[in-house]
Each structure stands twice: as C-alpha cells, then as structure tokens.
Structure 1
Amino acid sequence: MIDARSPGADEATFIRAVRSGDTARFARLTERHRRELQVHCYRMLANYEDAQDMTQETFLRAWKKRESFKGHAALRTWLYRIATNACLDFLEKRNDRTPVTVGLPGAGSEVRYLQPYPDRMLPEDPQESVVARETIELAFIVAVQHLPPRQRAVFVLRDVLGWPASRAADALEVTVASVTSALQRARVTVREQLPDRRLDWRSPATHELSDDERAVVRSYMDAHERNDLDGLVALLRDDLRFAMLPEPGTLVVTAEDAVDGWVSGGLFRRGYDDWRCVATTVNRMPAAALYLRIPGDPEYRLFNIAVLRIVDGKVVELTGFGAAGRPWLGLPPTL
C-alpha cells in the first residue's frame, strides 16, 4: 500500500521549505518521488513519454500549489493527488487516447499510443516502491486503458496503490459512494480485458523472469540471428496475438497471420537478414532488442524491440515497438 504512515518529518521539512522559499529543499523532497509518480502516470496514460511530461507537470503544479500544503496528509499523498488530476486533465484534452476497435474477429481493440516502460526507470526502493509485475505488464496496462478516465483513476488509486475509499474520494473530489461504484464497474471491465490464464492483479506479486521465459527469449533471438523462420514459428502459440505499434492495422490474432505478414514484409530476405539481438526487459517482461545491419553499413542499428508474453514455453503475445530514436529505452543505438 502506498503511504500507509502518518504525516511526519518530511511534511514538516516541506512546510519549512515552503515558508522559507527554499527551492533546493523543495526540489529534493519532491524529486525523491519522481520514479513512482512516473509509473503512476504511465498506468493512467500507457505512454512513457506522456508519463514523463505529466510527472514534470506534477512538480510544476506542486510548486504553484505549495502554499496549500498544510501537512494534514502525507507529502506523497499530496503529490499523487496532483499527478492523478494532471493525468485526468491531459486525457480530457486528448481525443486520441482511447483504444481503437479492430475489425477482426476476436481481435478486440488496440492501444496504438501504448509504449513500453524501461525497467531501469522503475522505483528502486524494494520495501515501498517496487512495482508488482502483475500491475505493470503490458496486458494489465492495456486493460486499464479500456476504463473511462475517472474509473481508471479510481481503479489505480484503490486496487493498485491500495488507497482507502475515503482518500481516493478526497483526491478526486467525489463521494465515497461514487468511488465504490466506479471501482466495482472498473474491476469487471479489467477482468474482461485481461487475457485468458492471466493472474489476478491482486495475487501475490512476482518480479523476476522465470528460467522458461529466459530460455524462450534466447531461442527467439537465436532464430532471428540465424534467419531461421521455422525456429521462430516453433516458438509461437497458434493463437498468438501480434501487434507492431504505433502502426495501425498490424494487429493479428493467429501465428499463421503474423508469420505471413512478416514474410510478405521481407523478413529474412536480403536487407532484412543480418540481425543481432540483445536480451532486455521492459514492463518486467522478457524482451529482445533487434538490431539490423543493411548492406554497406558497418554497424548494426537499433530497429525494434519485441516484448514477449510467454506461457508454458510458447509466445502467446508479441508486441513490437519501433526503438530507434528512443534513448529512454536505455539501449545502445548501434552494435
């Protein structure tokens, strides 16, 4: 649970910093919460760059509202409240931040603005701020995007952060009854959107990849580097769900359709046949960074990152993201 303790030393220090105009102390006290606030904004927005922007907006609003902080709630609670409302204001102004229905049987919808979250940017404190894998994986983030913004805020505050209904109601300036009703509706929607065989998000948290997942990633990378289409196909479950974001129209829901698309797109033909791969993790999920060397280029250049959801030794979801020009992923641009 986020912030279960009573207001204390941090709050008193913060109030003194506000009264004295000590901007350096103000910055130190708020900055220590940056990573967890950014994860919170990411859950609300599903986009790493938007989450960065809204975290910065949170600090700007905190500075402007600094005189309103009286220490009745913990500093962390106050910052989360500001961050939540910054995200809601952002969503109110954007009409392109909702899932898009896909006209394919069983495909549902896709979140084209979805971006991966680099594990290196997750909170570091293992006691308080560690992010449960169940609530940062892409499937969970996508499911939350199907909630209307206010329901989304209630769900994240109550079921992810563990806030009591009264605190969530105060943050959103609604009644406890409204929070309770919104949470009930949100839970139904999220469960409907989560993939089959998915763990309940309130079950005990896991953080590390399994040996099985690591082995599949190694095989996936090896197949790419050897131009082994049959080896790649062998790793995929028949009902694979594949999407290449943010490109529209790439979502398919069978391994056969995915492979047909890759082949027609030129995979393993000249110009797309010299690969090097690096294992990584995003959203606490196994991933492979794919580097391509085209004829005449002495270097392998970062091309895509493939994020895998693996069940019983098979890839059941493969979400690709363009990785070039995204330094926040923490991947070298060339090999």
Structure 2
Amino acid sequence: MLGGRLCDDRSVDSSIDAALVSATQSGDSDAFAVLVGPLQRELHAYCYRMLGSVHDADDALQDTLVRAWRAFGRFEFRGSVRPWLYRIATNRCLSILDQRGRRALPVDLDRSVGSDAQIDWLEPYPADRLDPGQRLVARESIELAFVAAVQRLTGTQRAVLLLREVLGFTSREVADQLDTTVAAVNSGLQRARAALDPALPAATQRVTTRQMGEAAVLELARRYAQAWEAADIDTIVSMLTNDARYSMPPVPTWFVGRQEIRDFLLSGPLACGWRFVTTEANGQLAFGTYRWDSAAAAYRPGGLDVLTLRRDGIAEVVSFLEADFAAHGLPPSLPA
C-alpha cells in the first residue's frame, strides 16, 4: 500500500514538472523559478564541495541557472530536471577549476610555506545555506575535513565522487552528465576513493555533533568559550586531543600538539580580551570570536573558529580570520 502511494506521488510530481517544463519552454520565467527553486540549495552545496569556496559556488550556481534558462528550449524532459541541472553545474565547476589551483587549509601544506605565499584558501560554509530537509544527511559530506580532502582530487574525480556517493546518481546518469562511459565513471570512482581515504580522519575516532547530542555539544561549547574568555590556558589545552591541530587561514602557519598550541596561545592571542558566540559552520560546532578593541570600545570580529571533534576531545580548530560574519548570521561587533 505504501509503495503504491509513493508511486502515485512521484507520478503527480512528474506531471506537475512536465507542465512547468512546457510553460518554461514557452518563455514563462515564473514557471522556471518554481521548477528550479527547490534544487538551488543542494546545487549550491554541490558547487561548494567541488570548488571549496562559497563565493565561487555563488558564481557557479548563478551561471548554471542563466545557462539553464537560455538552453531550456532544447531540454528534453525525462521525468526530472535535476540530472540536467547537475550536468550544467558540473561543467561550470570544471571550467572554474581549469582557471585556478586547488583550495587548501594550512595543515594541507608543508610547514615551511612562507607567510607571503599566494594560496587560495578553503572557505567555511554557512549553516543556513544547507537545505533544512537534507541538513542531517549532508553534514558529513560538508565537513571541513571532507571538503579539504576532495580538493586534492582532479576535477573529474571530484565530480564522479560527489555525484555518485553524495548525491546518489547512478553510474549511467553520471556518465551522461560527464559525456563519458559507465566504465570510465566506475574507474574514476575507484581512483577517487583510493586518493580520498588516506586524507580523511579515521571514521572511528571522529564524532559528529549529532552523535554527541545537543546537550553535550552545548556543554562543550560553554566550557570552551568560558575558558577563552577567562584566558584559562589549562582548560583550553585540556580539552584538546594530544595530536590536535590549530590553524588560522590566511596565515599559512599551523600548530600541532598540546604544547605547540599552548605556547602559541600564550605568545599573544590570550593576552587579548575575547567574547565567543556559538554557531555552526560546515555542519560542525563553530564560534564567532570577538577581540576587544579599545579604540572602538567594543569587541570586534577576530575569526570564525570551526572545531572538529573526536571522542577524546577537540581534534582541530580552524580559525578563519577573514570570514564573513554576516554570512554566518553573526553580529558585526559586541558591546563592552
């Protein structure tokens, strides 16, 4: 009975889409907006995973929609516009990747990289850009570690991996989207998996905020923020894993281990007054950090800190010093 109901719903949806496709091909821009609107968030998240940049994803999505509108007269409807839109989005992302190098985090680089090096940095992803209906499903594939690892793949390998394993397209659909063969898609997926696995933290050690539970995450956030605001170095360090990493893009320098991080924090950062606002980025616990500015008599943005959690503590802190606080729903300053 349930299966029959689901089939009926899909039939109704397909009929509605067919009517919208027909109206769009007659030049109805409102019909086009209704047709592609529900897919825009997932398309944007896909472009972000491909490119590692929210701003590049904005451009890729905009180009995708413009090109789709212009080419809609030639579109052959086969039950859904989704595979076709992903074909266009993939081509736009691959074109962008041809024009620049991969994005990275400081820990992806050799520690001897100088401070004047010109690097395209990975950007944090605002929580509200994810489709609410897919947020829990999408979190793991939007985490910083996963997106950073994906950036090590070739453009085509990224597309194959994301389209097959994150978005659930069949090998035949991906082959059509990339103008290649099913055999080439399956081979590319194997190579992508082989290259990706060593770059990812052990799944048995990593723990998501969903696995920890809301109460545990809030308590950890409270303790960590309180320790920073009190300049309590002992508590901060005790919450880190033994091999924790700390970085601050666009500064290429990074620190590993409790002692290195402790020495760095004591060398300057903890001499400032801080206020932390709990938020979320890339499906992970994050903080908008605000440093006291005596000239402004207020706390001004210091960085967006995104935390990676493991069962034994905080495994990594990436402090994005140039993050767009407004994009993450954070205030421009905090009062004294």
Q: What TM-score bracket applies, with the shorter chain setting the length?
A: 0.7 to 0.9
Q: How does 1:82-93 map to 2 (within 5 A)?
A: 82-93=88-99
SS in structure 1 at match of 2:270 = coil
Shift of 1:207: 4.5
1:174-185 correspondence runs (5 A) = 174-185=180-191
Displacement after TM superposition at 1:326 (Å): 4.2
Counterpart contact for 2:288–2:305, Cα < 8 Å: yes
Q: Does 1:145 align with 2:147?
A: no
Q: Identify the match of residue 102 of structure 1 among 109, 115, 140.
A: 109
Aligned to 2:329: 330
* Separation of aligned partners in 1, 2:65 and 2:19: 17
Match of 1:303 in 2: 302
Q: 1:253 aligns with which of 253, 256, 259?
A: 256
CA gap 1:174/1:324 in 2 versus in 1, 3 angstroms: closer
Residue 214 (1) aligns with residue 222 (2): no
Which residue of the partner structure matches residue 116 of structure 2? Answer: none
Q: 1:197 to 1:96 in 2, by over 3 A?
A: closer
Helix, strand or coil at the partner of 1:95: coil
Match of 1:316 in 2: 315
Give the number of aligned pairs: 316
Which AA in structure 2 matches 1:268?
Answer: L
- Secondary structure, aligned partner of 2:269: coil
Tell me if 1:16 matches 2:22. yes
TM-score, normalised via structure 2 length? 0.86
Q: Look up the SS of the partner of 1:12 in the other structure.
A: helix
Structure 1 segments unaligned to the other structure (5+ residues): 106-110
CA distance in 1, matches of 2:59, 2:159: 18
Aligned counterparts of 2:191 and 2:203: Cα–Cα separation in 1: 21
Cα distance change of structure 1 residues 73 and 214 upon mapping to structure 2, 3 Å threshold = same
Structure 1 CA distance, aligned partners of 2:308 and 2:183? 37
1:10: Cα distance to partner? 4.2
Q: Identify which of 144, 155, 160 aligns with 1:154.
A: 160
Residue number among 124, 139, 145 corresponding to 1:133 in the alignment: 139
- Give how far 1:233 is off: 1.3
The answer to whether the 8 A contact 1:123-1:130 is kept is no
How far off is 1:334 after superposition?
1.4
How far, CA to CA, are the matches of 1:306 and 1:286 in structure 2? 9
Q: Which amino acid aligns with 2:184?
A: S
Alignment of 1:243 onto 2:247: yes
Q: Give the drift of 1:89.
A: 0.9
Q: Partner letter of residue 121 of structure 1?
A: R
Q: TM-score, normalised by structure 1?
A: 0.86
Deviation at 1:54, TM superposition (A): 0.9
What are the residue-to-residue correspondences of 1:194-209 with 2, within 5 Å?
Answer: 194-198=200-204, 207=210
> Is residue 97–residue 155 contact of structure 2 (8 Å, CA) maintained in 1?
yes
User: Are the aligned partners of 1:291 and 1:302 in contact in 2 as well (CA < 8 Å)?
Assistant: yes
Give secondary structure in 2 for the equivalent of 1:114: coil
Q: Which residue of 2 aligns with 1:228?
A: 232
Q: 1:177 to 1:96 in 2, by over 3 A?
A: closer
The change in CA–CA distance for 1:10 and 1:113 in structure 2 (over 3 A counts) is farther
Aligned residue for 1:277?
276
Match of 2:126 in 1: 118
- Structure 1 163/15 Cα, relative in aligned 2: closer, same or farther at 3 Å? same
Q: Which residue of 2 aligns with 1:33?
A: 39
Query: Which sections of structure 2, spanning at least 5 residues, go unmatched?
Result: 1-9, 113-118
Helix, strand or coil at the partner of 1:187: helix
| CA displacement, residues 41-95 of structure 1 (integer Å, 9 cap, x when unaligned) | 1111111111111111111111121112110251112111111111111101113
Contact 1:143 1:194 in 2 (8 A): yes
Q: Work out the CA distance in 1 between the residues paired with 2:321 and 2:98.
A: 27
More helix by share: 2
Q: What is the Cα-based RMSD across aligned positions, in Å?
A: 2.5
Equivalent position of 2:58 in the other structure: 52
CA distance in 2, matches of 1:84, 1:42: 11
Q: Which deviates more, 157-166 or 237-246?
A: 237-246
